[in-house]
Amino acid sequence: MTYQTDVTIPDPAQGRELYRAHARSWLAANLPEHMRSDSLAYRAPTLEECTLWERAMHRAGLAGMTWPTEYGGFGLTLREHLAVNKEIGALMMPESVGSVGKELAGPIIMAVGTEAQKAEFLPRILRLEDYWCQGFSEPDAGSDLARLRTKAELEGETWRINGQKIWTSGAMKATYCLLLARTGTVADKHKGLVMFAVPMNSPGITVRPIKSIDGKESFAEVFFNNVEVADSLRLGAPDEGWSAAIRVLSIERATNRMYRPWRFEAELRSLLRACKSDAVLARRLDDSDVQRRVGEIVGQIDGLKGLIEASVEHLESGAPIGARGSLSKFYWSECHQAFAGFAYDLLAQVGPQSSPLARRAKAHFTTGYLFARAETIYAGVSEVQLDIIAQRILNLAKDK
Amino acid sequence: MSTEDDTLRPEDFADAALAAITDAAGHDIAGAAGLLAEAGLLGISAAEDDGGLGLGLEFALSLAAIAGRENLGFPFVEQMLLARAFAGTPQAAALIAGELVATIAWQGDVGLGLASQAPFAGVCGAVLVARDGEAVLFERESLQVSEDPALDPERPQSWLGLAGAREIAVLDTEGFAALRREARLLQGAYVTGLAEAALETTAAYLETRTQFGRPLSAKQAVRHSLARMKLLVEKNKAALARALAADEFGAARDARAAFVTAAADAGFVLERAIHLHGAMGFTWEVPLHRALRAVRKIDAAFDTPAALRGLGKTFIDAA
């Protein structure tokens, strides 16, 4: 695969629409047909193919928009980031294989890392020279991270890590783990939590893949057995690192994967095109119940776009993000999960007699339906998001 | 005014608007018109040459939300829309000054000889009715008004016979299409205002209503229900603000999705608000029923179930 490299990246000062138009034209010209999940030429891309694609996107100015130029970014605002994400969402391209690095580890390092850490890690994240995984959840600490037990003990200039992480997405390919551990005991709750950038090739790390509902091994258990980590890989001070990370995470929840409503729209469009390509399914589209359901979904997508754009304007105005990210995360996951069920139902009778595009859609949306079970769980389960909205937006006192 | 002070924001008007709207709520239709006109609200987004303030539609949107919160007994949204649409005519000046109170029949057509869903038609001076794409402003006294109190005995829906109707003015096809687009935005803000006020009332009540030794708002099921309601209100406010703004390429956005969704969600929020009040919510004394009736009348006026199907069909056809 070769990608267009003689790219002239427009100056956003000349108009944000130029930046969006650049994103649109570059993506349309460069996204390989076989990586489009709505194409008959689709085949699951390899890790290497995805990596090369994302590197090319970065060179074209379509990743790291808001990161400082000295770390490989483009020094732009969230508005350009959003403009590009609208175009990323409009195409049925693969999910990023570097999202944990770009959307979680990178912003945390930017917020709490030393200058040396920023210089070392950030450009490599954007160039996809490292893959990151997130080592937060544990068997007894899912939504409630205050219960995590993984121990970090300082011995001279080296930390010794012992414990177990679970539900670690992408651990099998990761070269670094953004690890959360504690210096004291579980009774300390949020005190004494400390973060590290742990090389995944460190002696003592064992990764055990977990087969997920969609048949893939997209997450894993990660065991840390006397793993030694240099103090220079600690991100922020103990205690301080965690609170800074929480601030970053609240922004990330509101701003990461901004393309979701536009991808949601592209998925709906591709589902309908597949139905139109098949005589039996095309008749279903005349059903008033189907039209009403599509109308509801269009309204939900429109509302999600509103929430995302409002968050961007809110942040660009200098206002704190607060708990706004919980609104869009909760709403997207609930609506998209329901859409996945609708798509599955619509395509359930597709078989060998159906059109090729309908069969392609069935393969895509059946996997999507199964994977969508995770959407109301990961990145903060729905019930936790509702608690956050109740407590921090509605200011309702919590039960004792 | 719009060019002299670019820093003026809709929220700068909020307190004064709320005071005027609250004041107007205690008067009959003519008195209310006078108070709203005096505060500059009826012509807030209407042409300055007609006596309006010439401010952008976002100002009218903000006022519609406040009027919704107060469930104002006046065709406020319709009056603001007509004052803009009839720019440059004597009718616009009269509407802005509150000398003429007019409403809009959201259903029906002159060709059918029948129109309906005109809020407060019984007490207005004029009614706008569609006529094969354009619209005609008729003298209300020349229409045969029959009221239907089934949904709302205090503010009944109305049916309008058009035989012998006398024309006051005509709005061309383009103007009527623009009015309908703006109506979706303003009515969306109005129903979202109704929903937001109900949510706040409900949250406040549940924080003070103690059962089993603690406030009901401390119970997770109740908190989550309120959180869902809050999400819908915030989402619809964001969607309406987005629909109001042009896209990155300068094109106006379609407001249908934002409006239809806001109306459907407002009904849900009102129904939940009544439920969460327990038996008190079922009483006449607690005014949530009035807000629910108001939302359902707007549903009927814009036939939102059909509009939702239409939204789906339009997307399907374009896919």
CATH of the domain at B297: 1.20.140.10
First to last CA, chain B: 43
Task: For residues B192 and B308, give the distance between their C-alpha atoms in angstroms, rounded to a whole number.
Answer: 17
Average pLDDT over residues A14-26: 88
Q: Which of B96, B179, B77 is nearest to B136 (CA)?
A: B179
B246 touching A (Cβ < 8 Å): no
Best of A20, A284, A298, A305 to disrupt the B interface by mutation (most B CBs within 10 Å)? A298
Q: Comparing C-alpha atoms, which of A129, A132, A142, A166 is closest to residue A235?
A: A132
Q: Among B171, B203, B220, which residue terminates a domain? A: B171
Separation of alpha carbons B303 and B310, rounded Å: 10
Q: Over range A166-177, report the average pLDDT.
A: 95
Q: In the listed set B171, B193, B213, which residue is the last one of a domain according to the structure?
A: B171
Secondary element (H or E) of residue B127: strand B126-131
Domain A259-393 in the same topology as domain A12-93: no
Residue A389 predicted with pLDDT over 50: yes
| Mean pLDDT (whole number) for A74-91 | 94
One-letter amino acid at B309 equals R
- B1 falls within a domain: no
Cα–Cα dist A209/A355, whole Å: 36
Is pLDDT of A252 > 90? Answer: no
**Distance of residue B135 Cα from the nearest chain A Cα, in angstroms:** 28
Q: In CATH terms, is domain A132-238 a member of 1.20.140.10? A: no
How large is the angle between the packed helices A260-276 and A78-90, nearest 10 degrees?
Answer: 20
A307 to chain B: which residues are within 8 Å by CB?
Answer: 234-235, 238-239
Of A380 and B291, the one with more pLDDT: B291
Q: Give the number of domains in chain B.
A: 2
| Closest alpha carbon to A168 in A214, A122, A132 | A132
**Same domain (yes/no): B14, B142:** yes
What CA–CA distance (Å, rounded) separates A164 from A140? 10
Which member of B217, B228, B235 has the closest CB to residue A303?
A: B235
Q: Report pLDDT for B2.
A: 43
The Cα A191–Cα A184 span in angstroms is 8
A64: closest CA of chain B, how far (Å):
21
Which of B208, B225, B311, B317 is most worth mutating to test chain A (most A CB atoms within 10 A of its CB)? Answer: B311
**8 Å CB contact between B231 and B269:** no
What is the distance between the alpha carbons of residues B241 and B165, in angstroms, rounded to a whole number?
38
Shared-domain flag, residues B150 and B244: no
Query: Tens digits of per-residue pLDDT, A183-235?
Result: 988 887 778 889 999 999 999 999 999 999 988 888 999 999 999 999 999 99
What is the distance in angstroms between the Cα of A91 and the nearest Cα belonging to chain B?
A: 14
Put simply, the answer to whether A294 touches B223 (Cβ < 8 Å) is: no
Could B312 and A291 be called an inter-chain contact, meaning their C-beta atoms sit closer than 8 Å?
Answer: yes
Query: Is there a contact between B223 and A17 if contact means CB atoms under 8 Å apart?
Result: no
Query: Nearest to residue B115, comparing CAs of B103, B105, B102?
Result: B105
Domain membership of residue B162 as a residue range? 10-171
State how far the Cα of A199 lies from the Cα of B30, in Å rounded to an integer: 76
Question: What value does the mean pLDDT of chain A take?
Answer: 92
Q: Do B43 and B162 belong to one domain?
A: yes
Q: Are residues B155 and B297 in the same domain?
A: no
Nearest CA in chain A to B251: A17
- Measuring CA to CA, how many Å separate A117 from each of A125, A236, B115, B200? 12, 10, 71, 47
Q: B114-116 and B157-161 as β-strands: parallel, antiparallel, unpaired?
A: antiparallel
Shared domain check, B205 and B163: no
Last residue of a domain, which of B171, B203, B225?
Answer: B171
Residues near B21 by beta carbon (within 8 Å), at least 6 away in sequence: B36, B41, B63, B66, B67, B70, B72, B76
Alpha helix locations (H) across chain A? 16-30, 47-59, 78-90, 99-100, 106-112, 115-126, 240-255, 260-276, 279-284, 288-316, 324-347, 356-371, 382-388
pLDDT tens by residue, A337-360: 999 999 999 999 999 999 999 999
Of A375, A365, A372, the C-alpha closest to A38 is A365
What average pLDDT does this structure show over A378-384? 89
Architecture of the domain made up of A12-93? Orthogonal Bundle (1.10)
pLDDT along chain B (319 residues), means of 10: 64 92 94 97 97 96 97 97 98 98 98 96 97 98 96 96 97 98 98 98 96 92 97 98 89 94 98 97 96 98 97 97
| A282: nearest CA partner in chain B | B316
Q: Could you report the per-residue pLDDT of A224-240, keeping only the tens digit for each?
A: 999 999 999 999 988 76
* CATH T-level topology, domain A259-393: Butyryl-CoA Dehydrogenase, subunit A; domain 3 (1.20.140)
What is the interface pTM, i.e. ipTM, of the complex?
0.94
